[in-house]
Structure 1
């Protein structure tokens, strides 16, 4: 299956053997106007979908517990032959974060282009309730080659081997806007800025081809050189990573991102006076 699946393509394949839909809606540590992802899933989701508790999956992954990841996926009915399609209804586009996290553990997945918002606009069918997926056995393997840590980023300030691309808004990147966690403002020295929302068309679908490439080009990064994506806490950095994946690039991700960097008084920070 392609990296992106259209709503029409998914509608035609609903109920197909081996197809597993996962609702990866998550609102992160800051929340989103008090919304409850699990409750919204129960109120209406794509038929046959299971709710992926991304917060729990994040915690399990952070603990480096490969058996725990396997159990989590197995409890959703996902076996080694599963075809996975992720979607969300989060302003942070958290299906991309789920994609990146699963990829880190050797699990391939596609994204529903436009998410459940587009599915609803097209008045496609919805299902209520929690669902009861069958349990399965799933093998996973850990690959940390595309994860960057603060020591990695500090070392890169000198070598400049990799480009840093920040997914936050321009005002947070420059330091004009206060950090929502109360941290110092600004960005990692030498970073480029590409607000993640610029990767989407007005209808919420992903830009493709030349339009997507132009969004990255406008940020100043060189697509032919290694890129590390970053953001506030590692969530929307995955949106940039998925966008680069659509362009055939395999980016790394600084998982701690600005929260990790700015929390350390010793790390250099750059602000921009406009």
Structure 2
């Protein structure tokens, strides 16, 4: 009996020893996995911060480029609705004669430097004609011509011509989003203006300015108008940056392990190598 108990004791001891060794192995592997996860989280957070910073800088730079493009086009004007091939052999002469005749500017030197059709693919037979870009030497001359053109209804082959400023490509895309809203406001005889890429609506309760077509459309819906809310322009919203911000809603808690701290320092130094170094000043 004593021998049997001793055998059972030895067997249980061996099993406990095996379980203890297995538990230690699992603990070692869990610790290793935690360190790897901690390092991966550290690298991911550092790279996300660097990417968000880079996208913000790109967004700011894009804004400056759009502003620069717009300023370079301050002396330009667009004419819409001129039938195809109506200009003949010289677009500049055609535009000069058109403006002087229709706007009673026969004695005015318009100083048109360049005039040409929009640089786009030639439209199909029944498609609307391309617009005409006109460049004036003087900004004041362009403004004077535009004011007079807006005050008069100019027809060509039974269709009205439209005159407007020449805008940067990104601004044009944003202005196109207001088309449906403009249609509704015109039907309701509500006065509005579209300075650059914004909209100013003169309500009975007062004038309000909206920074985007989405804001204006939502306001019209709140007031009971049936209008479709346009999609946001990709360059305006930066959906990738929004998603990155949303994925960073959690924060690390507790103390970072020594390995994680070293990794964070190493990643930070590595990312700093890609930052632009400002020029030295004397």
TM-score strictly above 0.5: no
Q: TM-score range by the shorter chain?
A: under 0.3
Q: How high is the TM-score relative to the length of structure 2? A: 0.22
